[in-house]
Structure 1
């Protein structure tokens, strides 16, 4: 097919897909799988935060609530962080640039660590 006769590209977001040239589909699909793994992580964080507060666990109530809030906050932020990371990697691949460093890892690790410490302290104080 003549390139001038192709349908216009309607992919979103334009600021990603208007960059550079189309990368190998395998790399774009791997980037998408990473994005989806972050989405699954967000669901797990949300579910963990809700379950922590909803179940009658032997954890000091203030600590339990604080840990639940941390997990729910992380679960709420994770989709935005994953979308930003997906877009950065996709643009870099389209331009032929080196892949950017991952985003959000430190926030996720620190947040889950804080929630774990809160639950542990809450168990010991209950």
Structure 2
């Protein structure tokens, strides 16, 4: 279950451990906040694509009412970049258009993290 940021981090940290390239993860969550599907999109050393259609299709296929995004920064800088914020707004709008709730976007950089929800960005 992914009821809060701490539980999300417990689920996500192993997925990003030892990665030297960016990885975008979309957790498709059920009404009970259990992970129904985990979509992984690999990137390069400094960026990662955000295939909105692929992410939303994956969420719709498992009838996920909620989505949680996360990605790593191999540089260990956990702060959201402008590109991260733009991507989050795009995905948030697309989610809203089809009735899926984007619950958070978490960036993990080394041992630190940033939560868009906690930062008040979304």
Q: Is the TM-score greater than 0.5?
A: no
Q: Which has the higher contact order (CA 8 A, sep 6+)?
A: 1
TM-score, normalising length from structure 1?
0.25
Which has more helix, going by share of residues? 1
